Amino acid sequence: MRIRAQMAMVMNLDKCIGCHTCSVTCKQTWTNREGTEYVWFNNVETKPGIGYPKHYEDQERWKGGWKLDGSGRLVLRSGGRLKRLSRIFANPDLPSIDDYYEPASFDKDILVDAPGGLADTPVKKPYSKLTGEPMAITWGANWEDSLGGSTAQDDPNLARMAQQVKFEFEKTFLFHLPRICEHCLNPACVSACPSGAMYKREEDGIVLVDQDRCRGWRMCVSACPYKKVYVNHATGKAEKCTFCFPRLEAGQPTICSETCVGRLRYLGLLWYDEDAVLAAASVADDADLLDAQRSVFLDPTDPAVQQAARDAGMPEDWIAAAAASPVWKLIGEYRIALPLHPEYRTLPMVWYVPPLSPVLDAAGAAGRDDTDADDIFHTIRDLRIPVEYLAELFSAGDAEVVGGVLMKLAAMRSYMRARTLDGTVAAELLDGIGMTGDQVEAMYRLLAIAKYDDRYVVPVAHTKQAAELEAQATARDGCSLDGEGGPGMGGATPDGRRQLTVNPVRGRS
């Protein structure tokens, strides 16, 4: 067993109001530069919908993530090394600027400088940030915001459902899905990078891009099934979510977590067994991937695991932080958080608590008892957000897994309401979800009323340890393509329409 540390995030989708504050603050912090106008390290999507970039979940089109070959071996969907090298100058599996959107700005001076007495009100017209030419805005990163399934007919998750959703006015549903880089345990982008620029940090598992090594081959963009690697068209370099590692090293939460209005994000440290990652990602049945990934995690409250962490050189405050991690509680103890598209086999490390419709009201409206476990379960199967749809997102289509999570959440609500109103203990509900009253109350406190320090348990970095790991990272051998001024150093717009002056960004991002 090789114990490793991984910073991870859990988002409670029941609390997301779709305000996009996380996206705006991330944009202002990380992608407010030339060449990143279309880049959103954090974006909030309305589901059902086709997402950003368009149809990013359609891996038959984009060849992202991993699959098992005929021999049961784990291979990239984008092909082996020779196949990638054969298309290194003309990769057909890249989203175009139309799949993202052409960033625009407006000539605001026309409003200020317009002469008085005009018969018509002056209008500021949009122009392209890429070409400078006038343009019509037809798509954007938040184009589907709160439209409730306006593009649902093209949502790949609905297409895979055995029972089709009937979109009638009274049955229309939507929820918001914030997305960042998953910082996977088995990242496809790292494996696909020809120059070795993509790497996973030894100390905390964050996936980053070495800007000095990056040669702009863009294989990482194709390989990432979540399409969270972007190309800066001013530098020709790949960029992605950094998990705000400078903030984490100072013991602070990511900027998207810090500014989240709904307080739906949780940050914490996990221990995992690095030797078990390949086997977990290689299980034959997609439905087994969730349990396989959970088996990779190590219980941070287990004294044997804590001793193994000490033997591996982990600092004492990191061991304490892992034991107090809200992420571990939601993933490993309460088991109510689920990964986004585990079938991509990247073992993602940003997990979600699926949204629960107002089940207690629905139970009452249907004439059912909201304190009866069976009545609540049957109500969950009839909610406006179909369990099957959530299963396509979070459990590789296994509706029983999502149903079990929603049952826990519904039972928690009913239990806490009964205990608060008349002090009764709904033992039948506890038996139905296999939890004790103390566990349910602790889960309620974490999900509903957790304080800042309970939601974000972030240990500070240790300078000595970081320096040693940095020395190990810089000792890695480069490839034959990473010489100064080598091929791939040029920049271009995302659709390749024009070449820009190269302005390499030094350092890491």
- Collapsing DSSP states into helix, strand and coil, what is residue 75? strand
Tokens of 39: 């880049």
Spatial distance between the Cα atoms of 451 and 446, rounded to a whole number of angstroms: 8
Whose structure tokens read 């004790």?
A: 436
How confident is the model at residue 386, as a pLDDT?
83
* Averaged pLDDT, groups of 10, the chain, 509 residues long: 96 94 96 93 92 94 94 92 82 91 87 78 85 89 72 71 54 86 97 94 95 93 96 94 95 96 96 96 96 97 96 94 97 97 97 81 58 62 78 94 92 87 81 90 95 95 59 47 37 42 32
Q: Which domains does the chain have, with CATH numbers?
A: 17-101+139-252+464-480+489-500 (3.30.70.20), 281-455 (3.30.70)
Nearest Cα to Cα of residue 444 among 14, 18, 9: 14
In 3D space, the residue among 56, 373, 476, 31 whose CA is nearest the CA of residue 225 turns out to be: 56
| Global confidence as pTM | 0.86
CA 386 to chain centre: 21
Distances from the Cα of 480 to the Cαs of 37, 105, 280, 425, 449, in angstroms? 32, 40, 33, 67, 54
pLDDT of residue 480: 33
Which is it for strands 499-500 and 491-492: parallel, antiparallel or unpaired? antiparallel
| Crossing angle (nearest 10°) for helices 303-311 and 316-323 | 150
pLDDT of res. 488 = 36
